[in-house]
């Protein structure tokens, strides 16, 4: 039986139960959002300032829909982070299927934006309209991360409603664990946008290093 991920996985508790996931708050688990963050160039800061000005201008007249959030904030962030350039590949509305452990249900969904390096998933991007909290998108984002065809590699997600950005890391090894960053708020400060870009670049570097090591073996 095939069910839409958005219908089958509606709460964090349900995602944890269905996938055998546990949240860890061990700071060492998700260092990619905290340590070795790259310095931003003046050009990158200027690009982020312009991105934020455009977002605030459009946001000032009311709530924004999911597609508009992707166009105004999420996609430009990926662009400035270098994910639309070699060696990365980008797929929009990528279909995924996930069979639960009981083998009786198959979950289906579409990832808003998926960034890949070779066949490694780099970032799963999920956008929501500004009226919804980023936390409402976390259950389905966890489901998408569980669909990673290389479960031995860590998966990263970015969830945004425009006003807020949340980063997620999921690992499927001895245990299925996930960790969360703090919530960043581009709406309130340009420094929050700078931090989000630094984390995206750090994730790209981490996955790139792993991919290079795998190719060398």
If you average pLDDT over residues 5-10, what whole number do you get? 90
If you average pLDDT over residues 126-142, what whole number do you get? 95
Task: Provide the percentage of residues in the chain whose pLDDT is more than 70.
Answer: 94
Whether residue 86 contacts residue 108, with contact meaning beta carbons closer than 8 Å, is answered with: no
The DSSP result for 21-64, as a single string, is EEE---TTTTGGGTSSPPPPPHHHHHHHHHHHHHHHHHHTTS--
List pLDDT tens digits, range 79-119: 999 999 999 999 999 999 887 766 667 899 999 999 999 88
Number of domains in the chain: 1
Residue 9 has pLDDT above 80, yes or no: yes
Token pair, residue 128, equals 């929501």
- pLDDT value for 217: 44
Task: Note down the domain range covering 180.
Answer: 2-216
Question: Which residue has 């249900």 as its token pair?
Answer: 105
List pLDDT tens digits, range 175-187: 999 999 999 999 8
Question: Which residue has 């688990």 as its token pair?
Answer: 29
Residue 167 has pLDDT above 80, yes or no: yes
Question: Which residue has 């960053």 as its token pair?
Answer: 181
**CA–CA gap between residue 103 and residue 59 (Å, rounded):** 44
For 92, half-sphere exposure in the C-beta direction (CA atoms, 13 angstrom radius) is: 8
| Least confident stretch, 21-35, 92-106, 108-122, 135-149 | 92-106
Question: Which residue has 């669909």 as its token pair?
Answer: 147
What is the value of pTM for the model shown? Answer: 0.93
E strands, the chain, are: 2-4, 21-23, 88-99, 106-117, 120-127, 155-160, 165-172, 176-180
Smallest CA-to-CA distance from 93 within 126, 119, 117, 141 is with 126
């Amino acid at each position: 039986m095939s069910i839409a991920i958005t219908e089958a996985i509606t709460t964090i508790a349900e995602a944890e139960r269905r996938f055998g996931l546990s949240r860890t708050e061990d700071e060492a688990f998700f260092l990619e959002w905290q340590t070795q963050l790259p310095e931003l160039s003046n050009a990158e800061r200027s690009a982020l300032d312009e991105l934020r000005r455009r977002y605030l201008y459009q946001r000032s007249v009311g709530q924004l829909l999911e597609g508009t959030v992707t166009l105004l904030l999420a996609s430009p962030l990926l662009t400035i982070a270098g994910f639309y350039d070699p060696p990365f590949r980008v797929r929009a509305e990528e279909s995924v299927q996930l069979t639960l452990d009981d083998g009786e249900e198959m979950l289906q969904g579409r990832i808003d934006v998926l960034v890949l390096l070779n066949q490694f998933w780099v970032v799963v991007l999920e956008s929501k309209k500004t009226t919804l909290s980023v936390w409402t998108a976390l259950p389905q984002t966890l489901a998408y991360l569980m669909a990673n065809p290389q479960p031995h590699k860590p998966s990263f997600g970015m969830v945004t409603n425009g006003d807020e950005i949340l980063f997620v890391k999921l690992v499927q090894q001895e245990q299925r664990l996930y960790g969360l960053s703090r919530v960043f708020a581009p709406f309130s400060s340009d420094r929050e946008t700078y931090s989000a870009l630094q984390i995206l670049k750090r994730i790209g570097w981490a996955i790139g290093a792993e991919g290079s090591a795998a190719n060398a073996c």
